[in-house]
Chain A
Amino acid sequence: MTRRTLVNALLLLAVVALFAVPLLLDGGTSEYGGTDAAVTEELEAEGYTPWFDPLFSPAGEVESGLFALQAALGGGVLGYVLGRLRGRRTATPAAATGAGEQ
């Protein structure tokens, strides 16, 4: 494993830890409701009624599926581009970078 790969892996690990550690420490006491929903609930509790409804509201499971679809589209395109860029570099050694990372 090169030093570059190691640092990248550690960065990824740090991101995972940043979100996993609070979850573990908290021991299931928090609800982890969304902040967006928290605000709308508060405004409704204060007596505000929305004057326009969403044209289309997916039911619970469909909604999580559509969120997954959004993430999959983004992740898919990102992975495709990064893969192509990496393939381009490794297919033409030393032409693009000249850096000693291979």
Chain B
Amino acid sequence: MHIAEGFLPAGHAAGWTIAAAPFVVHGARAVVKEVRENPESTMLLGAAGAFTFVLSAIKLPSVTGSSSHPTGTGPGAILFRPPVMALLGTVVLLFQALLLAHGGLTTLGANAFAFAVVGPWAGYGAYRLARAAGAGLLPAVFAAVALADLATYVTTSLQLALAFPDAESGFAGALLKFLGVFAVTQIPLAIGEGLLGVLLFRVLTVNARPELERLGVLKPAPLATTGGAA
């Protein structure tokens, strides 16, 4: 999903930067507020940032014969709501743009919009919808984490199609072409990432129950009736 440095026309690069900036600034304030009001959140906040840091560094093979990387923005969006991930995701992209020549500064806005704004919001939306429809925590986590991954790559395809419409088939043709490169390759990765998200939340529900209850992910003490456990 990284659009390489200099690969978006200047107008598009500027437009996406302007579009992403308020989300990132709002996200920075959300992170500061969370840490200040709930210092005990810092550990889980670190875990959410670390999850996207490690997953977005790992390039995985896909059934299409190409490789791509997951995004890891879903769990943080579920735990701390999407604005927090707007900042954490952008930090990851900045690290990669500056040190790895992966992505770029001119395309940081577009990449942040896909990776740190649309992905987390899509995942969070899926999570809330699934929970409202009565799904359990883990199925909702799977849907959210997988969709946050996939939505990022769909957004990148949209951005590229807007910038480079096909000479004959226009925007729609270009969109199909870029979706063919990104989205299809991404499907197995999104499933794998969803499973990893489920694994993470299985570990957290056992070991971080107080935090998950405070964040509203778990209802307080649903296991209180399991007598004899202690």
> Which A residues form the contact surface with B (CB < 8 A)?
4, 7-8, 11-12, 14-15, 18-19, 22-23, 26, 29-36, 38-40, 42-43, 46, 48, 50-58, 63, 66-68, 70-71, 73-78, 80-82, 84-86, 88-89, 93-94, 96-101
Q: Using Cβ atoms and an 8 Å threshold, which residues of chain B touch A29?
A: 65
Could you say which of B3, B195, B228 has the most chain A C-beta atoms within 10 Å of its C-beta? B195
Q: Using Cβ atoms and an 8 Å threshold, which residues of chain A touch B198?
A: 11
The total of interchain contacts (Cβ-Cβ below 8 angstroms) comes to 188
Shortest Cβ distance from residue A100 to the other chain B in the assembled complex, whole angstroms: 4
Query: Which A-chain residue is minimally distant from B60 (CB atoms)?
Result: A19
A18 engages B104 (CB within 8 Å): no
- Sample (16) of A-B pairs whose CB atoms are under 8 Å apart: A8-B203, A11-B195, A15-B195, A15-B199, A30-B65, A36-B68, A46-B164, A48-B7, A53-B5, A54-B101, A55-B105, A66-B99, A67-B57, A70-B53, A74-B57, A82-B203
B206 engages A97 (CB within 8 Å): yes
How many residues on the B side are at the interface (Cβ–Cβ under 8 A)? 72
Q: A11-B195, A84-B43 are in contact. Are A18 and B188 (CB under 8 A)?
A: yes
Among B20-28, B30-38, B129-137, B207-215, which stretch is in contact with chain A?
A: B207-215
Query: Which B-chain residue is minimally distant from A36 (CB atoms)?
Result: B2
Expressed in whole angstroms, the Cα–Cα distance for A99 and B213 within the complex equals 14
Q: Using Cβ atoms and an 8 Å threshold, which residues of chain A touch B181?
A: 35, 38-39, 42
Interface residues of A, dominant DSSP: helix
Q: Is B143 an interface residue (CB 8 A)?
A: no
Q: A19-B61, A50-B4, A63-B101 are in contact. Are A35 and B106 (CB under 8 A)?
A: no
User: Which 6 pairs from chain A and chain B are nearest by CB?
Assistant: A74-B54, A50-B6, A74-B53, A30-B65, A52-B6, A94-B230
